[in-house]
Structure 1
């Protein structure tokens, strides 16, 4: 990796995945190898409104056959610029470059070297009334390529991770007949409901701020230079964001970052956010679709699942398939996928996916090659560490059950007995619960499997757990917390975490080969409390993300929501744990616990409150889950 590229990679958050990300497999020999195989040209492709988009085209030097286009549209730069500058690799992984495609990388409208105005998550014409959108830009790009690039076979595919995944998802709405296959991977889909910047209305503070304070800077004219980075002056994220004060005080750093200020000006799920949700337009999709994501994607797990499920409902004739692996955000292209933090997955899952799934998907649809049969859902079962090929996701065999909170910290599939009880804790926004034991300035990719023992030892975190399991327990599909609560305040956040508690004598044999420092102890994973899934519901949005409502102090209230899916086996001898808390800092912004526009809160608005969670027969708090036994016949 060149020094410039290394520096840029250090400055740009994990969200920024594009042509510059390293593949999971052994890379090609670098720029010299790409130069030997491909001819590069840089062009400005005109759109229907006259705006020209900067595009880099890499065409195989072997002209004895024709090739399909493989397009990536990105707001993150088609670096390196210059007709004689070549990247270290082309395409999603080494097999693509070796096989031969016409690789096309394009700076989207208003970014880097392209003309026009950039609009974050540009709304579709159907909701904006504009003359152009990202789907028309995709159409016009493909049309130009077919007419002006020799040696093409008349077929095109598109792929991208994260923001490029969004451009892929809306690109499949272009209607261009040449677009035969698309792979939206971790596609941004809804920045208020569940992707990147918000979760059920709660601001994902360090991730959103650290990204937008750089990415969101204005670009008056086309440039090849990345926006200047922001320097916090410390690696202590908990301390820096706590000293920052109320959420709205971030504006002191974002005077020249329009979207951040727009975001704070729209604290509810209003027309501003709704227009940036492409799901209603995902209808009558013609290309084959392979949606890809990671179970431990801290950024766009929501978008991945929502795109796949929405296609199933609104475009049932589309050849739509899902792949979910044990990956962090983009981990299938940027890591081996054999572990995340100390949690081991037992194999190089990324290489298998890239070679046996993604490559064959595009070969089948773009080169009409024979390909192995691909299941509707190819999903990795964490905990058991194995791939499953399923005819549907969520699996039809899953039956709904509920993990009920019990008195004295118990957790059971049986409802609480009459009498039951309740647990209360004091929540102080001045001393919020950290989201990891060592809080970095940003959002570490492995926080989604982090050990939760530090949190369970705090008095402001409620802990409920089963006895050690007598047999394996597999959960598949969405989790649906249902809490019956009361608070002395008028607003509160409710965080629910599902945790896999390892036996005290557990030892992972893969550790001694991993090189991780954990192998210095006899049982490095003994008693580990692995986060499997955690999510929040900002209480005022419990009934509607668009219409917030206060709590009545002391009045029992139902708070229920749907969390992102899991596919996890809790092994025999492990325990299932649920933790409930009201702060998770600085992962999410602090709630004053007073009903108000949090983005306008002042320091004096933040108040202590006492929260109560009921778990009696009349108010049975718990988490609905899908119990899976693949030996059972599927539901009809």
Structure 2
């Protein structure tokens, strides 16, 4: 009956649905009714459907067996054919794509493993060919980020489908664009051989809130714990500003933007190195381990990696999030927080390639929301998807020898 009523509103055979302001539509609660609220048809997002997975994706936990019944690829499914992989630094799935590429190179038959090629561009989702002589991604110039994709892809197909001996097998296994130095580089693996981990520890006097706070990234953990606290109100989440996104309509403009106006919010903690005396090329994964506490049974923590230039402009590079109920693993049952107890949490790695010039700073932001890039946690410990009211959380990040909160980056020495 609902479908009939919806159809009765549409009389034009060349129908143009009214535009949706997704920046407002995605705020709708309960979350499971977002599409219903914009008069969209029933579908697999929120509704049970007569398909193998059963639909109702929003209701599933990460370890729900239904995820294995649809068309999704899982890493227990062997891929044993040559592959040409394309990713971009400001796409929503760049990290998982690189992990999948490395997984196939490890698990395919040796001959096939050696026929996997990867290109990583500094662009938005599926925007490789839109690069220009001066490629602007968000607000940041990437310089000339063009690449002859037609020659690469047609050459690859001509070799593997037509048998042409055109030099395809001599291509570097990885082509990646390093932002900051704004140049294409090549390697036989990703991260490149010789990349070394470098760790920075979080430190402050307990007032790391905002870009004017006292948060620092230092070489050794501080002796005493002076935790940084902030209030997370799910009705006033930190807005997504740029970033690694796809397919959110007008809700988010992806890319690299100066984050300073966001860093004025007291619910964002800011930790920065001193100005670098020597350049640092970060190419590879960025691993973050935090020690956190809260007064609610479940909440989120977010991390954003930033390049701060000599003028103070703070350009976002990548971002990640961890829902605390899944801190033991997404294949495990949820676990809850006890009030003010400190928990160690390892985040899903971020990935990028960026040249931090001398005088620049490496920075991270920590908060509990990045909305609507990630859905907001209502902090109740409930289902989240069917709730309309949230609980304010008082969250804290701890850092000391006892709680060595840290960020480890992958550094490539000058060639």
Partners of 2:264 and 2:120 in 1: CA distance? 33
- Which residues of 2 match residues 277-292 of structure 1 at below 5 A? 277-283=72-78, 285-286=80-81, 288-292=82-86
CA RMSD of aligned residues (A): 2.7
- Quick check: which has more Rg, 1 or 2? 1
Q: Can you list the C-alpha shifts for 1:418-455, whole angstroms capped at 9, x where unaligned? A: 11421000111121111128xx9735775331221122
Counterpart contact for 2:191–2:284, Cα < 8 Å: yes
Q: Can you list the C-alpha shifts for 1:524-556, whole angstroms capped at 9, x where unaligned? A: xxx321100111111111112232211111100
Q: Can you list the C-alpha shifts for 1:327-357, whole angstroms capped at 9, x where unaligned? A: 21111134438221221122142xx241453
Q: Can you list the C-alpha shifts for 1:555-575, whole angstroms capped at 9, x where unaligned? A: 000111222321111111111
Q: 1:310 to 1:441 in 2, by over 3 A?
A: closer
Counterpart contact for 2:291–2:399, Cα < 8 Å: yes
2:369 is equivalent to residue 583 of structure 1 = yes
Q: 1:448 to 1:493 in 2, by over 3 A?
A: farther
Q: Which has the higher contact order (CA 8 A, sep 6+)?
A: 2
Normalised TM-score (structure 2): 0.83
- Which residues of 2 match residues 258-277 of structure 1 at below 5 A? 258-261=43-46, 262-276=56-70, 277=72
In the other structure, the counterpart of 1:39 is none
Q: 1:417 to 1:279 in 2, by over 3 A?
A: same
In the other structure, the counterpart of 2:104 is 311
2:239 is equivalent to residue 424 of structure 1 = no
Counterpart contact for 1:282–1:311, Cα < 8 Å: no
- Which residues of 2 match residues 453-472 of structure 1 at below 5 A? 453-472=260-279
Moved more, 460-469 or 310-319: 310-319
Partners of 2:109 and 2:365 in 1: CA distance? 38
SS class of match (1:612): strand
Q: 1:281 to 1:484 in 2, by over 3 A?
A: closer
SS class of match (2:310): coil
2:191 is equivalent to residue 394 of structure 1 = yes
- Which residues of 2 match residues 524-603 of structure 1 at below 5 A? 527-546=312-331, 547-603=333-389
In the other structure, the counterpart of 2:178 is 381
Partners of 1:323 and 1:226 in 2: CA distance? 40
The count of residues paired between Structure 1 and Structure 2 equals 375
Partners of 1:538 and 1:227 in 2: CA distance? 41
In the other structure, the counterpart of 2:42 is 257
CA apart distance, 1:407: 1.1
Instruction: Give 5+ residue unaligned stretches, structure 2.
Output: 1-5, 8-12, 47-55, 206-213
CA apart distance, 1:405: 1.0
2:292 is equivalent to residue 485 of structure 1 = yes
SS class of match (1:365): helix
Match for residue 502 of structure 1 among 287, 309, 326: 309
CA apart distance, 1:491: 0.7
Larger relative helix fraction: 1
Instruction: Give 5+ residue unaligned stretches, structure 1.
Output: 1-216, 219-224, 505-526, 632-636
In the other structure, the counterpart of 2:123 is 327
